[in-house]
Homo-oligomer: A and B are copies of this chain.
């Protein structure tokens, strides 16, 4: 079968023929429909994040997938059912975080991540997975279900953000998303959704108009902030201080700048994964502002099955036009390398292995 991989020593994706996997007892065989591409895939390809499966000379890419059950293999699944796989798997049996359904909180070293850290991903015609790492999704998700994974990461970040403020009556009104990539735009759509508390949302980018991401930001009802005109430090005065900041840029200065952009009692969620970078900060002001204004800064990675379930509801509640506008390229497996090319017109690309 065809698989999209990165080979050891290379920094670009390649389409190769690999053996079709055989499910172990307790595993189902899944036929892949669509696999989305995000910034983490680029970091994996460039060798900046994750690592190869042991003893393999390549890694199958992809961690955002929607698939259909091809062979239930005596599991409780029904053949033809649509599923989305989670990303993390335990390195050893009996891992306490996986046992209690919180693989997203497992420390580094205790997990692999399919398509990222030491395990093959989903960018192949078929893959196998244990039932416990699959979430069933509605039939209507055949084309959009690969978005459940990125949305689930924001579900976790939002859950943790609210938890940090649960010791008092927090009444947030304003939210700022840093980054107008696919995760930023999905998050903005979630924050603009009627089930959240936020009445005014903003999204930071650095694109000139006309631009398809700015169109989406504004169609969602949010305000676009061009960081070249209004840098982070100017946002509270130019717009307003933010109750919630969600960072999806991987730009290291955003961690500290997030604190200064917050209103009293605000919370900043970091999702990006920057490289080392040494620079000067006013550490006294950072520290003092956190204390005197009761602010929080936290990091969030990965997600668990509860977040996938919440993501299904969020995706179903998105306006009809959003997924169409987000997906700017659909590629056949043989054309998969082109799906990794970026441009100002590219938002989200997918590799489509099959349809239902």
Binding site for B on A (CB under 8 A): 100, 102, 104-108, 156, 159-160, 163-169, 252-256, 263-265, 270-301
Interchain CB contact under 8 A, B102 and A169: yes
CA distance A164 to B299 in the complex (A): 11
Chain B contacts of A167 at CB under 8 A? 156, 159-160, 163
Chain B contacts of A100 at CB under 8 A? 169
Known interface pairs A163-B164, A166-B166, A293-B107; A252-B298 also in contact (CB < 8 Å):
no
Listed by A's residue number, 7 A-B pairs whose Cβ atoms lie within 8 Å are: A156-B167, A270-B287, A275-B284, A275-B288, A276-B284, A292-B299, A298-B298
Known interface pairs A297-B298, A298-B296; A287-B166 also in contact (CB < 8 Å):
no
Given known contacts A163-B163, A296-B298, what 15 new A-B pairs fall within 8 Å (CB)? A102-B168, A105-B264, A107-B264, A107-B293, A160-B164, A163-B167, A255-B283, A255-B290, A256-B283, A270-B290, A272-B291, A273-B287, A280-B280, A291-B299, A292-B299
Interchain CB contact under 8 A, A108 and B264: yes
Residue of B with least CB distance to A169:
B100
Q: Which of B165, B287, B292, B297 is the one whose CB lies under 8 Å from A252? A: B287
Interchain CB contact under 8 A, B287 and A272: yes
Instruction: State how many angstroms separate the Cβ of A268 from the closest Cβ of chain B.
Output: 10
CA distance A255 to B284 in the complex (A): 9
Instruction: State how many angstroms separate the Cβ of A345 from the closest Cβ of chain B.
Output: 29
Interchain CB contact under 8 A, A278 and B283: yes
Known interface pairs A105-B168, A291-B300; A278-B270 also in contact (CB < 8 Å):
no
CA distance A106 to B289 in the complex (A): 14
